[in-house]
């Protein structure tokens, strides 16, 4: 039988606050409701030895896509955010790879999931 060496020392929520973060990966997908979204993985520097990894499913079209505009602005992509939010402008295509490696600040809030304390990214700011 294979033996493993579990280490759960990093399990637990990130304390509420604003932290430096880096976008590690961006993958297009479809939400459970059938809407387009991006699955974005962040490495968040919390002051520990290694960053904490968090993933966010972010809609990029429709009424629930306000976070995508905030993310673009935090990554200094204001012109794209403006074009996507304009009712009149032509919507240019977006290369999701342009987000990979971007450094920004993320706001983390306390949350609960299945009666357990957790955290969630609630905002994006320029670094």
The pLDDT tens digits of the residues spanning 65-114 come to 999 999 999 999 999 999 999 988 789 999 999 999 999 999 999 999 99
pLDDT of residue 103: 98
Question: Per-residue pLDDT averaged across 12-18, rounded?
Answer: 95
Q: Can you tell me which residue has the tokens 């459970």?
A: 32
Strand blocks (E) in 1-127: 17-30, 36-45, 52-59, 103-113, 116-125
Residue 97 lies in a domain: yes
Q: Which two tokens stand for residue 28?
A: 């297009």
Tally of structural domains, the chain? 1
Residue 1 lies in a domain: no
Residue 40 lies in a domain: yes
Residue 103 lies in a domain: yes
Residue 121 lies in a domain: yes
Residue 9: exposure state from Cβ atoms within 10 A (0-12, 13-18, ≥19): exposed
Residue 104 lies in a domain: yes
| Other Cβ atoms within 10 Å of 70 Cβ, number | 16
CATH number for the domain spanning 92: value is 2.40.50
The pLDDT tens digits of the residues spanning 44-56 come to 999 888 999 999 9
Query: Whole-model pTM?
Result: 0.89
Residue 10 lies in a domain: no
* Structural domain range at position 120: 19-125
Residue 5 lies in a domain: no
């Amino acid at each position: 039988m294979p033996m493993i060496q579990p280490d759960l020392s990093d399990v637990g929520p990130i304390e509420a606050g604003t932290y430096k973060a880096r976008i590690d990966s961006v993958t297009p997908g479809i939400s459970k409701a059938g809407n387009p979204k991006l699955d974005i993985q962040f490495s968040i520097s919390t002051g520990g030895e290694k960053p904490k990894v968090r993933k966010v499913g972010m809609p990029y079209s429709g009424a629930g896509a306000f976070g995508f505009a905030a993310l673009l602005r935090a990554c200094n992509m204001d012109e794209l955010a403006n074009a996507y939010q304009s009712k009149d402008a032509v919507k240019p295509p977006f290369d999701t790879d342009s987000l990979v490696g971007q450094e920004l600040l993320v706001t983390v809030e306390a949350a609960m999931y299945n009666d357990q304390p957790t955290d969630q990214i609630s905002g994006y700011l320029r670094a």
